[in-house]
Structure 1
Amino acid sequence: MTKVRTCPACAGMVSAGDSFCEGCGRTLPERNRPGAGGRGGPDQVPTAPQPSLSGLGTEASGTSPEAETTVVERPGLTPADGAPTAPQVSLHGAVGPAAAGHTAVDEDTDDGAEGVADGPEPDRDDVGAQDTQILFRETAPPVPGPAAPPPAPKAVPDWPPPSVGSNPVAVDNPDLCVWCPGGVVDGYCGTCGFLQPTGRDHVEVRARRAFGVSDRGLRHKRNEDAMAIRVIEDDAPRAAGTVVAVVCDGVSSSPRSDEASRVTAETGATVLAERMRQGADPREATGTAMIRAAEAVAAIADSPSSAPACTFVSAVVDPATGAVTVGWVGDSRAYWISGGGASSASALLTRDDSWSEAMVQMGALSREEAMRSANAHALIAWMGADSGEIDAHISTVTPTGPGAVLLCSDGLWNYYPEAQDLTEAVPGAAGTPHEASRTYVSLALGAGGKDNITVVLVPVPAGRGGPRAARV
């Protein structure tokens, strides 16, 4: 039986007397040559990987070649240390030391990577190996130094976060999301994306003669309603004990609508109280307050095309006479809630600046048809830099008490649009205004809470007031 002789580099067949492999040009072991070893025994073909395949670039890496391998230079042919089918040495020796796991810094010099990179620019004729060397010095991993101590583990706060007092969303850590374990940036959670609750999500105001509750509702991410109440001191020289209240509802389609409602409500109530303290007539004071409030919300606009906007409704209640002066723009409402008995019947004191109301007034649609329309709550007047010239409505009535004046946003009257509905929903509201305000908000939440809800109640005691005046 004839043994098959093969090249130890490429496993190609060779003849017994060949000195070089015809396939790869590798010098064959002397035992393959005639008379080698004193006898022409069979080839000793190892089963382990060949030195030429497992030790690419041995000279460049500084390791010694295998004893059985003799590397010869063969210009113009295959690389001296491997066959064409073996992994090739990169051009200009790029693989060399980096591939062997060494740093790219020349071991024969003290120059580091920065020294090579910052040195004089090589001639373009010599761009080969030197450019490649710099490349690998920039990209090769650095020489491992002493192991750095591991960073201290970051404390993970408890979640759900602890509540503060009776408010389950007022957290100790404002950087921790109240909905998930994420972190908060600019008011939004970086993990779940939810807007974080603020101090306006549920607000209750207790004044000496007025009470208000505002709630975010169940569908909105923030409360865009706002309210403001002022009570003039009992010993004031003018308008003693007069109650001033304002409710505003931010227009959701406008930017920063929550800021618009806050600025408008605070400005309107402040100016209105100041004018009353100065002895102004309630109607004149209401007109001035509405003008100043409109100017204030217009001033926060970036441009007319990016203008925060809101509705406005105010009330001035004179405790001495029971007279009620209301002013409004938009669809936030004022109601008279009857205290029963000889009190004036419950009634809506405002008229919405809305598409649906306009259709009803023109006789184009019945109220039921208008409210079923998709445009039912579309506003035709509001406060904002883009509102144009608006018609501020002012009306004065003097209902017979006892009873209460109720100001609210559409988050409540969407569910209880009729004055009688509001009266029957919370019997005795005038006698317990704070509890009644809370109850109205709870009823709106129970009915769906689709919008922000704000309710302000100003009670008018028994024995105050007179015959109801005509609306002006």
Structure 2
Amino acid sequence: MSQPPAKGFRISAATGIHKGDRQYQQDQVALLQHPRAKGCLLGVVADGMGGRSGGREAADQVLLTARQLFDRYDPVTDDGTAFLRSVVSQAHMVIKLTAIAAEQEPHSTIAAFLVQPQGDCRWAHVGDSRIYHFHNGRLIHRTRDHSYVQTLVDRGELSEEQARIHPDSNILIGCLGSEAEPPVGEHRIAQLEPGDAILACSDGLWHYFSDAELGAMLATLPPRDATELLVEKARSRARGGGDNLSLMVVGIAPLAAAKG
């Protein structure tokens, strides 16, 4: 997908998803173009948890909620951050209601970003699906996982590299569908610029890469090629034990130089 927003640069984007070595696919990913506002995009990654059908249903509910609210969103009059908060809160409530009639306990992460026609970008996340902002390969900002090992990193007991390979790295302290209200991480990029890249992905992808590796790939390859290479390398590094993985890459390029 490739389209120009109002600010005179071009957005190129691609998504990828793979079942990994799991029996069932519980990740979901979608990159949506606004039905009425050119240059307005919503990207959503949801990593479902809760048994064979419970996790997939939870991830499906996240995407369905996001689609419905995005159809009603007006980027001229509505607040983007409030919109993302609504996606999170409504998806959380729908998953909780689903759990009442379900044998499993469905839960999901969410990592959602909104690109506005005027060129700013906002995001919200719950759980350990991540969003990264790179500029020419350099990490500018990324989400902070709502996970047990992240608390150890915050206390200085683990490095980021140690956390990435820690055996308890999959234990979450916040997700959609839980009894407690989910913690929500938020961020805003005031103005996207040529050289920027946004990556949203589940832990089945980022688990196998350092931040520097991700930045280097996004800086040297167009989104479609980067997405394919990241999936390929993650599958290789998983060595037969890989989780579901999903990702989307959005690249910002000058109009004359855009590819992908």
**TM-score (norm: length of structure 1):** 0.48
Q: Give the alignment partner of residue 39 of structure 2, picking from 225, 241, 245.
A: 241
Identical positions, percent: 24
Which structure shows the higher strand fraction?
2
Q: Give the alignment partner of residue 225 of structure 1, picking from 7, 11, 27.
A: 27
Aligned to 1:338: 135
- What is the number of residues matched between the two proteins? 244
Distance in structure 1 (CA, Å) of the matches to 2:188 and 2:28? 23
CA spacing shift, 1:435–1:387, aligned 2, 3 Å: farther
Kept in 1, the 8 Å contact 2:50–2:105? The answer is no
Q: Give the alignment partner of residue 397 of structure 1, picking from 178, 189, 199.
A: 189
Work out whether 1:421 is the aligned partner of 2:207. Answer: no
Aligned to 1:40: none
How much has 1:320 moved relative to structure 2? Answer: 2.9
Aligned to 2:6: none
Aligned to 1:328: 125
Aligned to 1:182: none
Q: Secondary structure at the match of 1:246?
A: strand
Aligned to 1:3: none
Which structure shows the higher helix fraction?
2
How much has 1:427 moved relative to structure 2? Answer: 4.3
Residue type of the partner of 2:116? D
Residue type of the partner of 1:439? L
Distance in structure 1 (CA, Å) of the matches to 2:207 and 2:125? 18
Q: Secondary structure at the match of 2:49?
A: coil
Q: Secondary structure at the match of 1:260?
A: helix
Offset from partner CA, 1:274-332 (integer Å, 9 cap, x none): 224573111111111111111222222135984211100000112432x2101000000
CA spacing shift, 1:266–1:339, aligned 2, 3 Å: farther
CA spacing shift, 1:222–1:280, aligned 2, 3 Å: same
Residue type of the partner of 2:233? L
Work out whether 1:215 is the aligned partner of 2:18. Answer: yes
CA spacing shift, 1:297–1:391, aligned 2, 3 Å: same
How much has 1:258 moved relative to structure 2? Answer: 1.2
Kept in 1, the 8 Å contact 2:55–2:108? The answer is yes
CA spacing shift, 1:439–1:269, aligned 2, 3 Å: farther
Aligned to 2:228: 438
Query: Unmatched 5+ residue regions in structure 2?
Result: 4-11, 256-260
Q: Secondary structure at the match of 1:262?
A: helix
How much has 1:273 moved relative to structure 2? Answer: 4.6
Aligned to 1:383: 176
Query: Unmatched 5+ residue regions in structure 1?
Result: 1-205, 464-472
CA spacing shift, 1:304–1:447, aligned 2, 3 Å: same
Aligned to 1:183: none
Kept in 2, the 8 Å contact 1:286–1:394? The answer is no
CA spacing shift, 1:360–1:220, aligned 2, 3 Å: same
Residue type of the partner of 1:351? R
Aligned to 1:406: 199
Kept in 2, the 8 Å contact 1:272–1:286? The answer is no
CA spacing shift, 1:306–1:393, aligned 2, 3 Å: same
Bigger relative contact order, structure 1 or 2, given CA contacts below 8 A and separation 6+? 2
**TM-score (norm: length of structure 2):** 0.83
CA spacing shift, 1:212–1:370, aligned 2, 3 Å: closer
How much has 1:436 moved relative to structure 2? Answer: 2.1
CA spacing shift, 1:406–1:369, aligned 2, 3 Å: closer
How much has 1:262 moved relative to structure 2? Answer: 1.5
How much has 1:363 moved relative to structure 2? Answer: 2.9
Distance in structure 2 (CA, Å) of the matches to 1:259 and 1:207? 30
CA spacing shift, 1:272–1:363, aligned 2, 3 Å: farther
Distance in structure 2 (CA, Å) of the matches to 1:389 and 1:268? 18
Superposed, 1:24-43 pairs within 5 Å as: none
Q: Secondary structure at the match of 1:406?
A: strand
Q: Give the alignment partner of residue 91 of structure 2, picking from 266, 274, 293.
A: 293
Q: Secondary structure at the match of 1:346?
A: strand
Kept in 2, the 8 Å contact 1:319–1:460? The answer is no
How much has 1:352 moved relative to structure 2? Answer: 0.2
